[in-house]
Amino acid sequence: MEFKLNDEQRLIRKAARDFAFKELEPNAREWEETATFSRDVFTKMGRLDFTGLYVPEEYNGTGVGRLTACLIFEELAKGCFSTAVCLTVHNMVTNLIYQYGSEEQRERWVKPLAAGQQLAAYSLTEADAGSDAAALSASAMKTDGGYVLNGTKLFVTSGGVADVYAVMMRTDSEQKERARGISAFVVEKGAKGFSFGHHEPKMGMNSSPTTELHFNDCFIPDENLLGETGRGFNMALTALNGGRISIGACSVGLAQQALDYALNYAHKRQQFGRPIVSFQGLQFLFADLVTEIEAARLMIYRAAFLMDQGEASVMEAAMAKRLATDTAMRVTTDAVQILGGAGYMKSYPVEMYMRFAKVAQIFEGTNQIQRLVIARELTKYKGGKRPDAY
């Protein structure tokens, strides 16, 4: 399989890079320290056509696809990882509603979301349903003309600041196959009985609000059900499959940014009368880091490319997410080491990069869960080899 970036993709990547270094990077530290979410930045990303990456033009999107989206996420993450992640989730949900929504639902939600006029969030996790998401218990009970929602969802990215929430709820508690008892709904901010917990203080990514969602006899009309009842878990996992590639792309950008910063520092920093970059001990470290970033980047691009071709990519997405996020963790940790004491100080950005990297190994499926997915796909075929294996 071979792919090559075309001129349009190169131009889009440049636009994202320019935006990252003009609008994001100079502010990322302050947003992080003050836990500030910038809606203005989101609106600007809408003007750049970054908010409807998977949906066609007739719904205000660009439909550029996964690979191009990855180029954008990678560049934005160099400037501000939190902003890039917020955008990946927004695009994931916009696509979810586009894929499974009726024509009315597309008109009502996809259009303003893709235009960047509204922001979207995704809610699957609960206190007792994290990696085992099919165990979720927040419920949607059928009533005349709609559903009544009750329960609490956890750790929602852009919680409180988003306008539109894709929420997975249990509609059938009798269903033996747990996953088949889950349905997907769209809930708008402001719905009666729908409220938010506090903005959760975190190790990093503080400019991205993470909150609980509370549903207290919240009525939503039938028109807010997405697709068929009982299919919500399946939709949620399909969305996450793409989301994992996007988180991997953000992680590649973060790793590259950390490497570039450390390399630049190592050229300037003198010890023993020489720039520290001239020590072979550090050169070998740099050689390993740049090699690992390149490997992760290629895996992300390949998984995205396969998804764009409509080919099976569950295993590729899981492998790419696992490798890219572990690489970001390693590179950012080593970047702190390369800066020595300065690396530990908040006046330099690498400690923040390291804190950003940690969460990527956890959300959209922990890296243990990615291994579970990879192993499950790998062992599906007796004889050990998948039909499309090399």
The verdict on 233 binding ligand FAD (CB under 6 A) reads no
Measured on CA atoms in the order 315, 156, 138, 131, is the torsion positive or negative? Answer: positive
Q: Give me the least distance between CB of 122 and ligand FAD, in Å please.
A: 5
Q: Give me the least distance between CB of 330 and ligand FAD, in Å please.
A: 18
Structure tokens at 347: 């006046």
What is the per-residue binding string for ligand FAD in 104-123, x denoting contact by CB under 6 A? Answer: ------------------xx
Structure tokens at 281: 């001990």
Structure tokens at 15: 């636009």
Shorter beta-carbon distance to ligand FAD: residue 97 or 262: 97
Number of residues that bind ligand FAD (CB under 6 A): 22
Beta bridge partners of 146: 143, 221
Shorter beta-carbon distance to ligand FAD: residue 166 or 296: 166
How far apart CA 129 and CA 133 sit, in angstroms, is 5
Segment lying near ligand FAD (by CB under 6 A), choices 70-78, 155-163, 217-225, 298-306: 155-163
* DSSP structural state of residue 275: E
Q: Where are the beta strands (DSSP E) in the chain?
A: 120-123, 139-143, 146-157, 164-170, 182-188, 194-196, 210-221, 225-226, 270-271, 274-275
The verdict on 165 binding ligand FAD (CB under 6 A) reads no
The verdict on 363 binding ligand FAD (CB under 6 A) reads yes
3-state secondary structure of 361: coil
Neighbouring CB atoms inside 10 A of 223's CB total 12
Structure tokens at 157: 């990215």
Segment lying near ligand FAD (by CB under 6 A), choices 144-152, 173-181, 365-373, 381-389: 365-373
Catalytic residue (one of 23, 32, 351, 364): 364
User: Looking up tokens 């080919």, which residue turns up?
Assistant: 311
Write out the binding residues for ligand FAD, residues 172-201 only, by CB under 6 A: none
**DSSP of 300-355:** HHHHHHHHHTT---HHHHHHHHHHHHHHHHHHHHHHHHHTTHHHHSTTSSHHHHHH
> Is 364 an annotated catalytic residue?
yes
The verdict on 366 binding ligand FAD (CB under 6 A) reads yes
* Candidate list 156, 167, 250, 303; residue touching ligand FAD; CB under 6 A: 156
Shorter beta-carbon distance to ligand FAD: residue 54 or 155: 155
Segment lying near ligand FAD (by CB under 6 A), choices 40-48, 252-260, 341-349, 361-369: 361-369
Write out the binding residues for ligand FAD, residues 297-316 only, by CB under 6 A: none
Structure tokens at 106: 């597309």
Structure tokens at 44: 């600007």
How far apart CA 272 and CA 270 sit, in angstroms, is 7
The verdict on 157 binding ligand FAD (CB under 6 A) reads yes
CA end-to-end span of the chain: 10
Q: Give me the least distance between CB of 331 and ligand FAD, in Å please.
A: 20
Q: Give me the least distance between CB of 299 and ligand FAD, in Å please.
A: 20
* Candidate list 81, 98, 109, 155; residue touching ligand FAD; CB under 6 A: 155
Write out the binding residues for ligand FAD, residues 81-100 only, by CB under 6 A: 89
Catalytic residues: 364
Per CB under 6 A, residues contacting ligand FAD are 89, 122-125, 130-131, 155-157, 202, 205, 210, 359, 362-366, 368-369, 372
